[in-house]
Structure 1
Amino acid sequence: MKYLQCLMYLLLLLGVPRLILAAEYFQIQVIDSESKRGIPLVELKTVNQILHVTDSNGIAAINEPGLMHQEVYFHVRSHGYEFPADGFGYQGKKIQVSPGGKAILKMKRVNLAERLYRLTGEGIYRDSLLTDADIPIAQPVLNGKVLGSDSVVNVKFKNRVYWFWGDTIFPGYPLGNFSVPGAVSDLPGQGGLPIQQGVNLNYFLDQNGFAKKTCDMPGPGPTWIDGLVVVRDDQGNERMFAKYVKIKGLLTAYERGLVEFNDQQKVFEKRKVFDFDAPLYPVGHPVKYEMSGHDYILFGLAVPLIRVPANPDALADLKQYETYSYLMPGSEAENWKVDRDESGALRYQWRKNVTPLTSELEEKLIQQKKLSKQEQYFQLRDIETKERIEIQNSSVAWNEFRGKWTMIGLQKFGTSVLGEIWYSEAASPLGPWKWGRKIVTHDKYSFYNPKQHPLFAREKGRLIYFEGTYTALFSGNEVKTPRYDYNQIMYQLDLSDPRLAAELFEK
């Protein structure tokens, strides 16, 4: 088997047509029964536990010598999709397997969001290459020598899209780039692919061809960034900034500050080390928002409740950061003071030097009898069950189709073991966020840190796009999906779906 594979790759290098090589493989494509699009991340397992996982075209290339020229049963499963069960409860199909043959299987999508493709890692279109299927992207099997990348941030800068990731692994050793690899892509319609087809990522590379470190801040441990934002200076020039943190141990931050991207060197440069005890600083996925005739950047994890004027000087000055809150300035942990008006109603204002509201903080206020459950800011509930949903982090964007602000949010770990993804909408990025609908879930697998992509929304926002990190981390699942684990997967959500009817969110 190894000899045959080596021979095939050698023939590819020598220019032998892919069609000849494809004759050695049996192609199974699994498609969405509604959209007819190939489904990535479908597991096809034989009776003797040989596992194949479909690529981003929904294709699995089968070349098992002992199973050729006979009927083979494949168990079929995929997160958020269903395959019909037989009388014994088995979900699968018996297929006549032969070299060069093809079969198509259909699955019903249960998730509201449709899985489109994998953006990072090795072998994104491996099986399509082996079976001579059409491939939309320029680097279908290995790009920047990246095998896996943690959470993404991205932004439009100088009319292109800049992408940056967390910890990233390479082929040569389990430890890789822990200092923010990056890439650039062209916008759809301006040299870039239509987003429903894929993204051609051009990584910033080091001298060895690896995705290079773009934010190598001094000090032990990884460097992570978030709060990635582009603002204009007084001369009208676009400038890109992010908050960096230095990490020790598992998840403990010990330093944070502001970095600016040098587009000539393709690296972030330190601009400011923040006071680590300051309660307000850039965090999460930023939102640009105009209030009272002034442009602001909103930051936040669960909800964007922190604001700062949209200019470089303000970004670097934590004294200019404010949060939307009813807590009194000067309040300290465990001794928060709640501001109320003459009638006893909570008085929300933009306040400096105040800890941002969180669901955990509000629970403590309730325990201290300073707040009632009906007064909580965080009141998001499941449209179906009416149960409260706690959001770990989210990505908020304006949507023209809805005329509302849309949230793609990760359910908080502890309230949802796997961190399921929810959709909500509101008249303001500040909320109130009343109702949510679950749009993505996984079976014993995590999918975290969702990033909505308003840059790529289609049909005036009817179709929106988001991605997240697919990983066994935090799931308790010790069986990691080959090639997909610890990588980014893109989803499409159709806001015309009647299960997402606008009136449901206005109750």
Structure 2
Amino acid sequence: MMKRFFPACAVLFTAAVAPALAAPASPSASRYFAIQVVDAATGRGVPLVELRATSEVRYYTDSNGIAAIDDPEMMEQSVYFSVKSAGYSYPKDGMGYAGVALKVTAGGKAVIKIARDNIAERLYRLTGAGIYRDSLLVGAPVPTKRPLLNGQVTGQDTVEVTPYKGKIYWFFGDTNKPSYPLGQFDTSGATSLAPGAGGLDPSRGVDLTYWVDPSGFSRPMAPPPHNGGPVWVAGLFTLTEHGAQHLYTHFAEVDHSMKMVHSGLAKFNDEKAVFEPIHTFDISNALRPEGHPFLASDAANNYIYFQPPRRGAFPLTRTIADEAHVTDPATYEAFTCLAPGARVSGRDTPMDRDAFGRLIWGWKRNTQPVGLDDVDELVKQGLMKREEALVQLRDISTDATVISHGGSVFWNAYRKRWILITTQMDGSPSSLGELWFAEADTPVGPWTYARKIATHDHYTFYNPTQHPFFDQDGGRLVYFEGTYTDTFSDVKDFTPRYNYNQLMYRLSLDDTRLSLPVPVYQFRQDGVDGYGAREQIDAGKLWSSVERIPFYAAPPSRKPSGLIPLYVTAQGLQTQSPGDGAKPLVYVLPAAPAESEKSSPGVAPLYEFRDDATARRWYSTDAQAPGARRSSEPICRVWRNPSSILALDYAVKPVLEKP
């Protein structure tokens, strides 16, 4: 995708400037007045920007950020356009209006620069009608082969995608068409060529080739329904056995109330280009493929990880990565706090605790995973405390809890951590349209501090997933998409063409706003306490010696502004360098906050404690500890650990797949 359709100066430019404007696709192109809205920082066109005239006529920029105007009543007039786009902003004038007056002329053009408030960058729409409609009307170049209508798709729900046999395979939920309000509800499918193998660079777009029926409309790809209800797929993955690669997915049939009535596993038939059922699952058992799977291995096995339903975006189930195990729920493991083999059963739920009463989270075979709803029930029944929950996701700015609805977790080579992109449940201003980023040292966590990366202004943006096969610059650039829809929202005015379709975003992981605190581990080796972030623990192979996470801090690999180094010395932890080229353990906040600092409630002083009986020294954000003396002054300030458990999955490493 081009960065800019025509040049601009300062905020906007309205004179006719011919050199940058491509030759019109037809003589009618000269009748349009072209407005391109661009990101002020990058110059790239911004999709989904509303331009509203004082007559309430509205235009929405296409995936090049272009709006084509040919309203006769506006020609040769100075027309005021308000400028609005979720996650972006335009300066307000003295009367509080965010917009600009432009002289509208046939064949004329203007650029409007807007500031991106989102951390994530909106790139383009992947599905639906008129993706580059306005660009074609004004004769601007477009990157895709079918820029107006592809597979007769006007709307398309949740994506599942994976590389398979040299291409990228895409599957979508319910699909709308131009010819009737009801489309098809048994999963749509398409392929694209991989970047570098004939496919577009993901920054420009994705050229989807749909499987279609004789009428040209995107055809069903899932097994035929038993009872006539929609058939949705989830948990798309590949397995290679005996030298052959196969594509699998979980499929679910739902009734008119969207309740699942049938569940199974299907394998893709390459010749027929359709999924065929090979196994039936018990719909009451969460041990089945779901979500956005990935492969990871330990010293003994290759595993495939899944996200169990209604448990947020977290990979809490797994099984050995072969067809025999995937089709046998009894072989699945859940990362759970229940006793082995148990299910949540109200007050009688068997919990797994050690001799000291500590809750044991770990991989347990044929045991129910525990999600947020389950935690609520177990807390209500007095079987666990809130701080014993596995997931403690919270806003880095306010320390408010962030409830994950859907999303994905994948290994990121740039951060050398597992990263999460998720939609928040009960968010604001969008109840189901706020997107968050977090990272963890192991697939199951600790998931603690998160940063909002995108908002959708009361609109829904659900089921986002990363596309790790699109990662660029060593994982620094991450691509993700999700469904932009009015569903589950309070909006009454739907966005033309964009509603119920897939939007692609890009996230730059070197953005300093994504420098989030990470766990600092306390380990004990040869009777001596030590401290380290993931970098030091990995290097020393110390995971089995880790005892607790006393606090969080910025990792040694990145130093946000305003932080100071914290060192490990023979005298303990200190902020003064011991010299001799000592490297910081982590970066922390000074003990005394600056006057201008906006500190989060999650920030707390870090104190040194000494046990009078054993002379053992340790560090904590607690105000006091029984039987120990606390330093009179804090060493520094850090981010507190809201969890009372230690739950890690450090033995596995990612298995990286390529398209």
* TM category, shorter: over 0.9
Q: Does 1:461 align with 2:475?
A: yes
Question: Structure 1 pair 358/503, CA: closer, same or farther in 2 (3 Å)?
Answer: closer
Q: Which runs of 5+ in 2 are unaligned?
A: 1-22, 520-551, 554-659
The residue aligned with 1:423 is: 437
**Cα deviation code 1:150-175 (max 9, x no counterpart):** 00000000011000000000000011
3-state SS in 2 of match to 1:351: strand
Counterparts of residues 245-260 of structure 1 (less than 5 Å):
245-260=252-267
The equivalent of 2:319 in structure 1 is 308
8 Å contact kept, 2:449–2:516: no
Aligned-pair identity in percent equals 44
- The amino acid that maps onto 1:228 is L
- 1:402, 1:502 within 8 Å by CA — same for their partners in 2? no
1:139 corresponds to? 146
Contact 1:27 1:60 survives alignment (8 Å): yes
1:354 shift after superposition: 2.1
Separation in structure 2 between the aligned mates of residue 320 and residue 217 of structure 1, nearest angstrom:
28
Residue 622 of structure 2: aligned partner: none
Amino acid in the other structure paired with 1:365: L
AA at the equivalent of 2:156: S
| More off after superposition, 336-345 vs 89-98 | 336-345
1:222 aligns to 2:240 (yes or no): no
Q: 1:363 aligns with which of 364, 373, 376?
A: 376
* Cα deviation digits, residues 124-153 of structure 1 (max 9, x gap): 000000001110111100000000000000
Tell me if the contact between 2:223 and 2:277 (Cα under 8 Å) persists in the aligned partners: no
1:228 is paired with a residue whose SS is strand
- Indicate whether 1:72 and 2:79 are aligned: yes
Tell me the CA shift for residue 494 of structure 1.
Answer: 0.5
Q: Which residue identity is paired with 1:227? A: G
Q: Deviations over 1:173-231 (max 9, x none)?
A: 01111011100000001100000000000001111111111114232210000000001
Distance 1:373 1:146 in 2: 45
Where does residue 281 of structure 1 map in the other structure? 288
Q: Number of residues paired by the alignment?
A: 491
CA distance in 2, matches of 1:486, 1:169: 9
Q: Is the 8 A contact 2:331 2:366 kept in 1?
A: no
- Mapping for residues 386-405 of structure 1, pairs under 5 Å: 386-405=399-418
User: Structure 1 residue 436 and structure 2 residue 450: aligned?
Assistant: yes
In structure 1, what is the Cα distance between the partners aligned to 2:298 and 2:449? 25
Q: 2:462 aligns with which of 442, 445, 448?
A: 448
In structure 1, which of residues 290, 293, 317 is the aligned counterpart of residue 297 of structure 2?
290
Note if 1:83 corresponds to 2:83: no
- Counterpart of 1:377 in structure 2 is 390
Q: Which residue of 2 aligns with 1:500?
A: 514
Residue 273 of structure 1: how far off its partner (Å): 1.2
Do the aligned residues in 2 keep the contact of 1:180 with 1:216 (CA within 8 Å)?
no
TM-score, normalised by the number of residues in structure 2: 0.73
Equivalent in the alignment of 2:338: 327
Mapped contact 1:413–1:419 kept (Cα < 8 A): no
* d(CA) in 2 for partners of 1:259, 1:217: 11
Specify the code of the residue in structure 1 equivalent to 2:320. P
The CA distance in 2 between the partners of 1:74 and 1:504, in whole Å, is 45
Provide the rounded CA distance (Å) in 1 between the counterparts of 2:259 and 2:99: 45
Answering whether residue 29 of structure 2 is matched by residue 22 of structure 1, we say yes
Deviation, structure 1 residue 414:
7.1
In the aligned structure 2, how far is the partner of 1:21 from the partner of 1:294? 63
Instruction: Specify which of 212, 216, 220 is matched with residue 209 of structure 1.
Output: 216
1:164 aligned counterpart, secondary structure: strand
Q: Which of the residues 462, 484, 505 maps onto 1:491?
A: 505
Tell me, yes or no, if structure 1 residue 114 matches structure 2 residue 127. Answer: no
Q: What per-residue deviation string (whole Å, max 9, x for no partner) do you get for residues 325-348 of structure 1?
A: 120123442121111112222222
Confirm or deny: 8 A CA contact 1:286 1:297 kept in the other structure: yes
* Cα drift, residue 363 of structure 1: 1.5
> Could you tell me which residue of structure 1 aligns to residue 132 of structure 2?
125
The question of whether the paired residues in 1 share the 8 Å contact of 2:433 and 2:457 is answered with no
Query: Secondary structure of the equivalent of 1:278?
Result: coil
* Cα distance in 2 for residues equivalent to 1:370 and 1:17: 69
1:313 partner SS: helix
1:105 shift after superposition: 0.1
CA distance in 2, matches of 1:324, 1:167: 32
Distance in 1 (CA, whole Å) between partners of 2:257 and 2:63 is: 32
Gaps of 5+ in 1: 1-15
Q: Decide which of 198, 202, 206 is 1:195's aligned counterpart.
A: 202
SS at match of 1:23: helix
Aligned to 1:232: 240
AA aligned opposite 1:121 = G
Q: SS in structure 2 opposite 1:196?
A: coil
Distance 1:250 1:77 in 2: 36
Shift of 1:412: 1.7
CA contact 1:279–1:354 (8 Å) conserved in 2: no
Q: Aligned partners of 1:425, 1:83: CA distance in 2, in Å?
A: 31
* Shift in Å, 1:17: 5.8
User: C-alpha distance in 2, partners of 1:429/1:129?
Assistant: 45
Q: Matched residues in 2 for 1:55 and 1:278: separation?
A: 43
Distance 1:352 1:249 in 2: 34
- Offset from partner CA, 1:380-437 (integer Å, 9 cap, x none): 1111101111101221111111000111111124786133110000111111111110
Q: Distance in 2 between matches of 1:51 and 1:254?
A: 43
Contact 1:392 1:413 in 2 (8 A): no
> Which 10-residue stretch deviates more, 125-134 or 215-224?
215-224
SS of the equivalent of 2:182 reads: strand
Structure 1: distance between partners of 2:205 and 2:286: 39
SS at match of 1:338: coil
**Kept in 2: contact 1:279–1:353 (CA 8 A):** no
- Return the index of the structure with the highest Cα Rg: 2
What is the identity, as a one-letter code, of the residue corresponding to 1:294?
A: N
Offset of residue 353 of structure 1: 2.9
* Distance (whole Å) between structure 2 residues aligned to residue 412 and residue 418 of structure 1: 5
Report the CA distance between 1:74 and its aligned residue: 0.5
Matches within 5 A, 1:19-98: 20-98=27-105
Match of 1:7 in 2: none
CA shift for structure 1 position 19: 5.1
**Cα RMSD, aligned residues only:** 1.5
SS at match of 1:474: coil
CA contact (8 A) 2:470 2:479 kept: yes
How far apart, in 1, do the equivalents of 2:95 and 2:249 lie? 55
Using a 3 Å threshold, how does the CA distance of structure 1 residues 110 and 319 change in structure 2: closer, same or farther? Answer: same
Q: Return closer, same or farther for 1:218/1:395 CA change in 2, 3 Å cut-off.
A: same
